[in-house]
Amino acid sequence: MAAAGTKRILDLEKRSPEVTSLVATLNKRIVGQPEAVKVLADIVETYQSGLCDPRRPAGTALFMGVTGSGKTATVEAACKALFGDERACVKLDCSEFQMEHEIAKLVGSPSGYLGHRETPALLNQKRLTAFHTEKLKLGVVLFDELEKSSDALWQLMLGIMDRATLTLGTCEQVNFSQSIIVMTSNLGAKEMSRLMLGKGLGYHAESIAPVDKAKITDIAKQAAVKHFTPEFLNRIDHTVVFNPLTEQDVKQIMSIELGIVQQDMWSVGKFLYQVTDSAKEKLMEEGFSKEYGARSLKRTIERRVRLPLARLLASGQIAPGDAVVIDEVGTSQFEFSIQKLSSADITFKDTGDIL
């Protein structure tokens, strides 16, 4: 027992400097999903501390929720924060493994079968360690839309999640102990959408209101129990049900997406652009709905902002140093106009400052 007067209360909220930076970065990119950020940060911090079980993956997580809530985007944002590239993961589209025989693409053909030597396994050790760095020897494997795959894939994953090993067709063993396994699923999304649409159809600024998170979570977990086997679900460390997006979330996502476009335009053409409030409202109206979340918002920004700017740049109508103002004129038309800036004005620290 500690001597009197020597008791020191430890701070359970304090994180390592590296993970504190990771959380701050993720919070800038991931909107309205604090639980998902916490889960990813916890997995990385436990791995960095050296306290992960070496007989299991660094962490396994199942991301569930309505379409367009940012499940796949969250994993990509984590890869960007950890490795500098949002594509720095082994991403498997599970719709490509709907037939049982297609699982051979993951492990390779057994010896003696056609393609045994010509077709390497998708889940090989080289791919898992491709993005390791000196500071962080960790990888991410994403099984996107898991419910679309054959049951054979879930059976294959049992060994990965339980023992962190996978035996390929060549009898080579692949080690997943330095990998984070993330699965996404839209199971229950239709029921969740019906619950949300009961408060209003389509998008209107005043109609976006928080939905009962407990009901959403219950729908998702019941759908998972019906679809997956108990032994599969029992091997998942974290199940996160994503929150439906609110009006404020959508505005923040739009700002992030416009900022990404600005970074690209500055990198290529050295010009800035500004979207007026009325044009932003139109982008939200066209790009967001309760049923599909923010999935189409990026496509709307692509069609309404990126492509016209690219066309104007390619045709020589925009020059370095220009500032393009995008405004709504009429009911649905966008007008692009230019204001000349001096070189001293073309400085910024954060794209959000100019949007």
pLDDT at res. 111: 62
CATH number of 248-354: 1.10.8.60
The secondary structure of 273-319 as a DSSP string is: EEE-HHHHHHHHHHH-BTTTBTHHHHHHHIIIIIHHHHHHHHTT---
State the average pLDDT over residues 308-330.
92
User: Do 166 and 194 touch, CB atoms closer than 8 A?
Assistant: no
Of 150, 158, 154, 160, residue with least CA distance to 180: 160
In the predicted structure, residue 42 carries a pLDDT above the cut 90:
yes
In the predicted structure, residue 347 carries a pLDDT above the cut 90:
no
- In this prediction, residue 342 has a pLDDT band, given cuts at 50, 70 and 90, of low
pTM for the model: 0.84
Return the percentage of the chain with pLDDT > 90, whole number: 61
pLDDT at res. 191: 87
What confidence tens digit (pLDDT) does each residue in 98-134 have?
988 888 889 886 665 555 566 678 999 999 999 999 8
Q: What is the mean pLDDT of the chain?
A: 86
- In this prediction, residue 3 has a pLDDT band, given cuts at 50, 70 and 90, of low
User: Do 289 and 341 touch, CB atoms closer than 8 A?
Assistant: no
In the predicted structure, residue 80 carries a pLDDT above the cut 80:
yes
- In this prediction, residue 79 has a pLDDT band, given cuts at 50, 70 and 90, of very high
CA neighbours closer than 13 Å in the CB half-sphere of residue 310: 9
In the predicted structure, residue 343 carries a pLDDT above the cut 90:
no
pLDDT at res. 201: 36
Alpha-carbon span 76 to 81, nearest angstrom: 9
State the average pLDDT over residues 71-96.
94
User: Do 319 and 326 touch, CB atoms closer than 8 A?
Assistant: no
pLDDT at res. 5: 67
Overall fold of domain 17-244? Rossmann fold (3.40.50)
Which range has the worst mean pLDDT, 96-105, 258-267, 310-319?
A: 96-105
pLDDT at res. 205: 38
pLDDT at res. 255: 92
- In this prediction, residue 146 has a pLDDT band, given cuts at 50, 70 and 90, of very high
Q: Which residues on adjacent β-strands are paired with residue 297?
A: none
The domains of the chain are located at 17-244, 248-354
Alpha-carbon span 307 to 284, nearest angstrom: 17
What confidence tens digit (pLDDT) does each residue in 63-78 have?
999 888 889 999 999 9
- In this prediction, residue 349 has a pLDDT band, given cuts at 50, 70 and 90, of very low
**Angle of helix 71-83 relative to helix 34-49, nearest 10 degrees?**
40
Alpha-carbon span 83 to 89, nearest angstrom: 9
Exposed e or buried b for every residue in 191-214, given b needs 16+ CB within 10 A?
A: bbbebbeeeeeebeeeebeebeee
What confidence tens digit (pLDDT) does each residue in 269-312 have?
999 999 999 999 999 988 877 666 677 888 899 999 999 999 99
